[in-house]
Amino acid sequence: MSIKIIPQKQLEQQASNSVIRQIPLLFFPSPQNIYVHRAKRLKTLATNNQFNDYLSFCAQIVELQANLAKQNSVNVDLSHLLNDKYPPLSLNNLPLSNVWQEYLNNLLSSITATTEQIALVIEQLKQNTAQQLHDKALHLLNGKFDCVDGNEALFIWSSLSVYYSQLASQIKGKAIAESTDKNCLCPVCNSMPVASIIQLGSNNGLRYLHCSLCESEWYVPRIKCTTCDNMKDIQYFSLDVELSATKTECCDACHSYLKILDQDKDPHIEVIADDIASLILDIKTEEEGFAKSGMNPFIFAQ
């Protein structure tokens, strides 16, 4: 099953499975709320974690993202982007503008460098021309992460995320299910997921993948590899107890894994924050021969 977004007026014209239709397939983000909650969670996790300095630094960036989303909002009509061929915010459908660079400039001017290395990276980015920044952003959006320094990528992606999450929040469309096996990339912007989350509330028990770029979440059935759709020989690893809220879901067919976070076991859990705080689980899982199929925007390879 894959997810496609169509104009709301076309929804009744589409035939879809009656059971799937009852399940919310897609949640568009509320940028400011997301960033405020994430910053709070990062600060909480930093108080008792071996990565406390880095979690606190990430919290500072996320607080700035929340301010940017509030004070420098984007308002555009995206109705013309809903078509049958591409996700609405994918590069094939919406070429990258330079609006996100305004967010980057504000971010670089407002951040407090906590180390000499961070100060150097900020200064390097400030020396980039608009075209150089544009090219680096395109590399990242196309998944060519090794073409951009990991430290620079963190700031560039954070700025892109503020821009794309606001665009996603303004899409006036509805999601429908299609009978294909493509569900590993975001149906809104075509980016990789961070992890999957099992929700509480009215969607209790349903699993959604969380986008690393636009912050949207889309439905994927549980006990199923999010990369290859394999439903056999799925393993789960955790660091402490079997009932841990954070586990890695590992596939023996394609040897990939992705974190799965359970709000029923910890209602305060936040996808990006808790993924960073559980880096040791990534290390242990990769030692077992599995490769991560998602990405965290605060953890780019150096």
Per-10-residue mean pLDDT of the chain, 302 residues long, equals 58 46 83 95 92 94 95 82 82 93 96 89 96 98 94 96 95 62 81 93 85 95 87 87 83 94 93 94 94 93 60
Query: Tokens in use for 104?
Result: 């980057």
The separation between the first and the last C-alpha atoms of the chain, rounded to the nearest angstrom, is: 35
pTM value is 0.90
Residue with tokens 């405020």: 36
Q: Which residues of 160-184 are buried (b: 16+ CB within 10 A; e: fewer)?
A: bbbbbbbbbbebebbbbbeeeeebb
pLDDT at 243: 62
Q: Say if residues 230 and 251 touch (Cβ distance below 8 Å).
A: yes
pLDDT at 18: 43
* Angstrom distance (rounded) from CA 72 to CA 63: 14
CA dihedral 238, 248, 162, 146 (to 10 degrees): 120
